[in-house]
Structure formats: C-alpha cells, structure tokens
Amino acid sequence: MDTNFTPSPEQIAQTKQKIDAYIQSIDANADHRAGAYPYYQFHQAGEPIRGTVLIFHGFSNKPHQMSRLADYLFRNGFNVYQANVAGHAFIPADKYWPQVDLKPEIANPLREKVQNDPVLQNFFANLAADPGTFRRPGYRQQIALVSRLVTIEPRLLDIMKAIELDNDPDFEEYFISSDMNYLKDARDRLAELDAMPGPIYTIGLSVGGSVALGLAADKPERIKRVVAYAPLLKIYGVERRQYVMLAGPLDISESGWDPALRFPVGCFTGADRFGSFVRSPNNIATLRDIPTFLVLTQNEDAADLDTNQEFFENIGGDRKGHRCYVYSSGDMVPHPMVDPTEVSQQMSNRFWQSLYQETFHFLTAGEIDSGNMSKVDQDPNLPQVPPLESK
C-alpha cells in the first residue's frame, strides 16, 4: 500500500488546532462528562503515514474504549483520532444525547397517566428502593412494562407503528427526534481532519459502527474504507425492540457500562432510528462502492444480527471489496468485542489480538484472513499486537 502521504508541519498544526478547539469547548461546558474527551495520536510532521483513522466508540461509552486498537494502528503507520459520538461528552444524557421523544401534546397526558397508575408507580417505587440492582429491565420486566403501558394507553400500539417501521410517514405526527445529530456531529469531527493529507478510514463499535457507516455514506469522496464492529443498525430482539419503542419516549431510564450514569430509554430509540437511516436505500447504494469490513457475533444482545447480515448482502456481500466475519456462538465473543477487558454476558473476546491484526490487514490491503480471526496465536506475517500486560 502507498504510504507516501507526508503531512507538513502546517497541516499537522492546523488539524491539532481544530481538534484542540473542540476539546476546549467541551471543557468550557459545565456539564462535561468526566473522562469523555476525544484525543489524537499524530506522527511527526514529515513522517510518511498510511492515512488517518477516525474512531467512534460505543453507546454510553467514551473515546478511550478502543485505546488499545488506536495504539496498535498508530504504532503501525496510521494517524488516529478517537472522537466522541454525538452528545456523549456531556451529561445529563436526556439533555445532550440523541433520542426520540413524543411530542409534548401527546407525551404530557401519557406521562400523567403513568404517574397516576398505581401499578407502574409501585414498580418504580421498588426500583427506587433498590437502585443498585437495576441497569436494564429483564425479559419479563420488559414484557410487563409494555403490557401495562398499552393497558393505560391503547393508542400506543398505533403510535408505535410510526416509529417501528423505517421512514413511516406518520412519524412526525407523533415524535420529535435528534437522532441525526449522530451524523451532524460526525461531519464536524471529519471536518477537523480537512487539512490532513491521505485517505480517511472510519472505525466504530455498536452505535459508533453505525456512525462510521453513516459518515462514509455521507462523505464517500473522503472516506476510503470502513470497519464496523457489531454496528447497531437495529435493536436486537423483538421484545427488547418493542420495549424500546414504547417505553423509549417516556421518562424511563437505564444505566450503561458506568452504573452511575443514567440515560433515557429514548436514547436507545434514537440509536435504532439512526440505524434505519444508515440502512436507507440511498446510503446502501453509496456504501456499495466503499469497501466495508463488518465484524459480527452470534452472541448478540444489542445489535440485531440478522439485520446486519442482510445489510452486508445489500451493500454487495463479498463483492466490491466488502468483507464480513461472524464469531460463532462457541467463540463466546460478546457485543463489545474490541476491548478484551470488557465483559458482557460473562464473555470477553480472547481473539482480540487477531481482530486487531485483521483490522490492520483490511485497512492496508482490503483483505482479511478469516482463519486468523478465531485464533489466539497471531499471524506472524502481520504486525504483532502487544500482550495485555504491556498496556
């Protein structure tokens, strides 16, 4: 691969100035979220690079989520910019994060019904009495909540259809949404790299994977390849998705990887809606010409696997330089597959080093070795990934 992209001192300085100004704007906001700062790793001016990788973290997480991958790519010739996904640099989430809400004229009467319903109030009182045990409602809780919401407001079934179907014409009758902030914010992050020579590659996990894909579809002239780990193009599970669509626009919240952080379920609804935008026909048509590497797992509990596999076929399957790898259920790789220290469903990715190698392989050569993906021993022909202890 051609590595003769050599940023000048002026180009490096211009890029750093733009990103630093963005970081300073985060710091100046009293609602900035501790540790949720973007950061960059740039080689010295005059040193040839392979290009620049723009990385987007997963839902409710922070840029350092993929710091090990960023370090590996930087050591092997890339400039790296780890960005926040929209709003995640700030809290409270209900003020800053993209989400879907019912219009006030619909939401306020419904919220009043929820507040006056003794069954739901008993449920919420039980949560308040023991908040440490509640991160996400379980399967039975979700079904029960959906059933109760429909009981107190039967119109919700019709309202839900407007959000459950992609691009339903009745959506704007009932809802307001800030889901497109994911794309607007990503455009701003990409614009900070305007002065940087050479190709831009986008990488993302979960919601960040959707952002990486959506940005590539929006700026195909600038982005050369995409790597999306378990992109959240649709919420996993019929019951889970129904709960997110019904309860999302209400005042019901959950917590994520940080138990102290709470966010409205409507933020999940916003992520799902943005995923449907990424899957729109126009974006699929554009992405057919941008080589994409999807990494999926059969042990999904967040992103719908069937939707992701269908998306891969729609953008061209193995044609036009696209590649896909699916970890089998027996590999025991969870949805947050990039950081080996992240544990979900009592699983973590023991194949993380080969994942990093094949990410590098795809970015530099447009190919992957499927046989290497599920190996603990690394491919000696690719740059080696340091062991966990050296981080």
**Are 88 and 104 contained in the same domain?**
no
**How far is Cα 385 from Cα 54, in angstroms, rounded to an integer?**
20
Question: Is there a domain that residue 362 lies in?
Answer: yes
Q: Is residue 140 part of a domain?
A: yes
If asked whether residues 192 and 320 sit together in one domain, one would say yes
Q: Look at the pTM and tell me if it is higher than 0.85.
A: yes
pLDDT by residue, tens only, the chain of 391 residues: 456 799 999 999 999 999 999 999 999 999 999 999 999 999 999 999 999 999 999 999 999 999 999 999 999 999 999 999 999 999 999 899 999 888 888 888 888 888 899 998 888 777 666 655 445 667 788 788 888 888 988 888 888 888 877 878 888 888 899 999 999 999 999 999 999 999 999 999 999 999 999 999 999 999 999 999 999 999 988 777 777 777 776 666 665 556 668 888 888 889 999 999 999 999 999 999 999 999 999 999 999 999 999 999 999 999 889 999 999 999 999 999 999 999 999 999 999 999 999 999 999 999 999 999 999 999 999 999 999 875 4
What residues make up the domain containing 125? 100-177
Do the beta carbons of residue 98 and residue 89 sit within 8 Å?
no
Residue 307: HSE in the Cβ half-sphere, 13 Å Cα cutoff: 22
Assess if residue 256 is contained within a domain.
no
* Neighbour-count burial of 4, counting CB atoms closer than 10 A to its CB (0-12 exposed, 13-18 middle, 19+ buried): exposed
* 2 inside domain: no
Distance between the two ends of the chain, CA-based, in angstroms?
Answer: 28
Name the region of 79 (left: φ>0; alpha: ψ -120 to 50; beta: rest): beta
Q: Give domain status of residue 260, yes or no.
A: no
377 & 307 share domain: yes
- Check whether residue 369 and residue 315 sit in a common domain: yes
CATH number of the domain at 78, please: 3.40.50.1820
State the greatest distance between any 2 C-alpha atoms of the chain, in Å, as a whole number.
68
Cα–Cα distance, 339 to 59 (Å, whole number): 14
In a domain, 254, yes or no: no
The last residue of one of the domains, among 157, 177, 197, is: 177
Number of domains in the chain: 2
